[in-house]
Every structure is written in structure tokens, then in C-alpha cells.
Chains A and B, each alone.
Chain A
Amino acid sequence: MNASAASLSPERELAVFIDLIARYFQTVGGSAPVFLVPTLETALPPQLDCTGYMPVTGRLTGWIALSMPGALLCSLLDHIGENQHDEAAQLDLVAEMAGTITSNAREHFGERLYVNPTLAAAAGDFPPELVPPTLSFRLPFRWSGQDAYLLVALHP
């Protein structure tokens, strides 16, 4: 079930993540993605082929995840000159991306975000170390014809 994210997610935090995702794709993939309408989720949304989870502790706790289809990850792997395209490589890349985008966010959120090593899971698997959120913020985007999303499940 979705609702408008505008009332519960400050515009500034949305802008930070849009900027960081755009910067990642611009640097690594050569072009920025198109961002779609963000939503609030009251249950864990269906995960795509590979999801990278960044557990966060500190003044904010929870996790931030990046969920992506395999085809998009293969396209990014091509861009960085990587010829290994199997599921292990896709999971490694999505975990690295989640870690990079969340760690980059510390520039804006400071000590509210204490980042930890990332976890990765294929579709249908959810890391047992993490708690499914009752409320999360989903930022969908499209790159190279493929849809992916960032999920922010943090609380004070």
C-alpha cells in the first residue's frame, strides 16, 4: 500500500539521495537515471533480482537498500569493464553501490548515519540480521530502460 511521500519525507533528504544516485550513475554508467514518483511503503516492497542492504546505526537506525534487476547490473558491469556477469558479481556490485551511496550521504547527515558493512540478497531472500520495516520510503528510478529503487527504512 502506497501513500504520498511528501508529507513524511523532508524534501532535503529526498534531494540528497536523488543527487547521490545520479552522481553514482553519471560517474560509473555515463548518464544519470530518470527518477520516478517516490512513495511511502507500509510493507516490504517486492525485491528485484539483487538487493544491497546498508545497516545504519547511530542517531538514526535501520537500513537503506538498493534493489535492482540483473539486466541493469550487467549493463553497469559492462561500463566498468567487468566481464564477470554472474549472480555473485551482480550481488557484489549492488552491495557496493548501496554502501557507496549511503556512505556518501554522511557528508549531509553527519553522525546521524553510522554505516556498517553491507549485506546482499537475491530476490526472495531477506537478510535475517535486519528487521522488515513497518514504514519505509521508496525512491524508484529508471536507467538504461530498467526500473530499480532505493528503499530508506530509518527511524530516530
Chain B
Amino acid sequence: MKLLIVDDSLIMRRAIERSAGRSRFSEIHTATNGLLAVEMFARHRPDVVTMDITMPDMDGLSAIDLILKQNPAANILVVSALADKGTAIEAVKRGALGFLLKPVTAESVHNAIENILSD
């Protein structure tokens, strides 16, 4: 199993990596913005993507569009602090399978990823 973590914060990327469970994933890749996320998705074809929304260069919503063009069945979990309902609805409308509101706990990240994998 492969995981791609997309977040412009190093601390968040490392926290999500620890929470996801290193034993669950044989490969964990990271990207710091939407543009790199699209490239990394094409290169590694991860089973799950965690996606922040507010990032430099390309935001998470635009990256979701481009990733789903590559693979309409991509498993994308949005992990964002944008708390308005419009952002969550827009992310799901574009094809994200879940929306996790920051701040997150290790348990909430772990459970959300497990839920996506079990569906």
C-alpha cells in the first residue's frame, strides 16, 4: 500500500505519517503543494492521498481535479482547517472521499484513513 501526504507544513506531514501507521503502508511519499502532489501521484500511484487545501503554487481543490483526471477512482482524504461548509462540500463534489477538520489528533487521522480503505 502507498500513501501520499500533501501539506505545506513539515510538522503536519510528519504527524500524519506517524498517525497513518507506517506498518500499514510500504511506501509513504510527501508533497508540499498541489503542483507537486499531481506529479507525485502520477509517479507513485498511491492508494490513499491526504490533501491540505490552502497551499502555495496550487491549492488542494485544483490538485484534486487534476489527480482525479489521472485516476477517477483515487482515494482522497482532505485534511484542512477551512471550516466553512462550502469548502467541505466543494471538496466532496470534486471527488474527495472524506473531509477531516484541523486541528486533528493522531486517532482521527488514523480512523479516517482506515475508513477510506475499508470502503
Q: Tell yes or no: A14 within 8 A of B by CB.
A: no
Looking at chain A's contact residues, the main secondary structure is helix
- Indicate if A92 sits at the interface (CB-CB under 8 A): yes
| Min distance, Cβ B81 to any Cβ of chain A, angstroms | 4
Partner of A99, one of B81, B104, B105: B81
B interface bracket (residues with beta carbon within 8 Å of A): 20 to 34
Q: Is B9 at the interface (CB under 8 A from chain A)?
A: yes
A96-B12 contact given A24-B103, A81-B106, A116-B54, CB 8 Å threshold: yes
Q: Count contacts between A and B, CB distance < 8 Å.
A: 65
Please give the residue numbers on chain B whose beta carbons come within 8 Å of chain A beta carbons, in ascending order.
8-12, 14-15, 18, 54-56, 80-85, 87, 101-106
* CA–CA, A92 and B12, complex, Å: 9
The interface residues of chain B lying within 8 Å CB-to-CB of A81 are: 15, 18, 106
Residues of B within 8 A of A46 (CB): none
Residues of B within 8 A of A82 (CB): 11, 14-15
B104 contacts across to A, CB distance below 8 A: 27
Distance in angstroms between the alpha carbons of A100 and B18 in the assembled complex = 20
- Counting CB contacts under 8 A, is A28 at the interface? yes
In the complex, what's the smallest C-beta–C-beta distance from B7 to chain A, in angstroms?
Answer: 8
A104: chain B residues at CB < 8 Å are 81, 83, 101-102
